[in-house]
């Protein structure tokens, strides 16, 4: 059987090919799965997709009509998949429920430190042999307050690093994480966390209840000199509202590895095109903002675990087995 993998990055391809070797053939495509590219999957029982694939009802119907019966998504998030339609079409859908939480937590801290210490601006200057320090002043984080929205595995890893910096810890989640509490984290209401935290990092899944968790009101509740980091899902932040606050001169720094309208942009080279997204175009012009291309997970360790789990999901499907990674079961 040949597995068709969409949205495969060049660095990711050797991992996928090696992992599937001895099990099934795999064909890796650089293009993402969309309504336009879905016909390529015709005749392939199993397709693998990236987090930015379009798996809405039209694409799922096209896949099912072409003979696809199983979708193996190479990510933890699955907000891009219409699970009800997939179930109605008899498709099995599986995801990667776990991979290295340190990859994302460490990258969130990379963004936080980069905006705090003005690393991008400093690097750009020194490339031009400009060694002035004007505009590069940051702040010690020791003794300041980190607010962690979402204290699961990634949030816990982020919290441990914050604890290492000597920060005060505030947390918000539907349930307390004992490991975070043991580090001294105090769980509080979201409003208090936003008002008191000097650094706020988002580590919650994108659900209807968390969409625009950081909306206009939440942004206004934050300190004027706060740092905001989002390495989870773009839809957690109302980007238009964020731009409004940034235009007003607020926030010491914002680090975004995700963007709510990133599909069709992230993972692609748009450098020779006119980007029509006015919000993103404005966002990247702010000197206190860093936007990266959904790369927080992108380490050798995490990608290796993601690919290995994807292969396991495929083998389980072929063998008629089911585990916690299956979102929609195989039709009987």
By DSSP bridging, strand 199-202 and strand 145-149 are parallel
Structure tokens at 258: 């995700």
272 Cβ partners below 8 Å, 6+ apart?
Answer: none
Contact, 141 vs 165, CB < 8 A? Answer: yes
Longest CA–CA span in the chain (Å) reads 68
Cα separation, 321 vs 271, whole angstroms: 44
**Catalytic entry in 203, 260, 262, 330:** 262
Q: Is 163 in the active site?
A: no
User: By three-state DSSP, how is residue 116 classified?
Assistant: helix
Q: Respond yes or no: is residue 262 known to be catalytic.
A: yes
Q: Which of 203, 233, 250, 330 is catalytic?
A: 233
Indicate if 132 belongs to the active site. no
Please report how many Cα atoms fall inside a 13 Å half-sphere around the Cα of residue 276, on the Cβ side: 1
Q: Which of 74, 95, 294, 330 is catalytic?
A: 294
How is residue 175 written in tokens?
């349930």
Q: Are strands 92-94 and 326-328 parallel, antiparallel or unpaired?
A: antiparallel
Are 23 and 52 in contact by the 8 Å Cβ rule? The answer is no
Displacement of CA 195 from its chain's centroid (Å): 25
Active-site annotation, residues: 233, 262, 294
């Amino acid at each position: 059987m040949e597995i068709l993998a969409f949205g495969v990055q060049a660095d990711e391809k050797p991992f996928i090919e090696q992992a599937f070797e001895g099990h099934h053939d795999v064909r890796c495509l650089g293009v993402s799965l969309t309504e336009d590219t879905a016909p390529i999957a015709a005749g392939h029982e199993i397709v693998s997709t990236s987090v930015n694939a379009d798996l809405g009802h039209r694409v799922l119907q096209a896949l099912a009509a072409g003979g696809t019966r199983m979708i193996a998504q190479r990510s933890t998030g699955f907000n891009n998949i219409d699970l009800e339609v997939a179930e109605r079409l008899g498709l099995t859908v599986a995801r990667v429920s776990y991979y290295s939480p340190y990859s994302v937590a460490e990258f969130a801290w990379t963004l936080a430190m980069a905006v705090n210490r003005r690393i991008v601006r400093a690097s750009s200057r020194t490339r031009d042999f400009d060694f002035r320090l004007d505009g590069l002043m940051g702040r010690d984080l020791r003794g300041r307050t980190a607010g962690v929205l979402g204290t699961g595995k990634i949030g816990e890893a982020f919290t441990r690093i914050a604890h290492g910096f000597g920060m005060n810890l505030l947390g918000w989640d539907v349930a307390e994480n004992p490991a975070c509490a043991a580090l001294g984290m105090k769980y509080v209401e979201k409003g208090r966390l936003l008002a008191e935290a000097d650094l706020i990092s988002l580590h919650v899944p994108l659900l209807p209840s968390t969409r625009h968790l950081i909306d206009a009101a939440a942004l206004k509740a934050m300190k004027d000199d706060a740092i905001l980091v989002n390495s989870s899902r773009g839809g957690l932040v109302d980007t238009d509202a964020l731009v409004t606050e940034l235009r007003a001169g607020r926030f010491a720094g914002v680090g975004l590895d995700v963007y709510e309208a990133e599909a069709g942009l992230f993972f692609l080279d748009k450098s020779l095109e006119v980007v029509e997204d006015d919000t993103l175009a404005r966002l990247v012009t702010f000197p206190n903002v860093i936007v990266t291309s959904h790369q927080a997970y992108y380490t050798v360790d995490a990608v290796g675990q993601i690919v290995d789990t994807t292969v396991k999901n495929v083998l389980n499907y072929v063998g008629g087995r089911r585990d916690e990674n299956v979102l929609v079961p195989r039709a009987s």
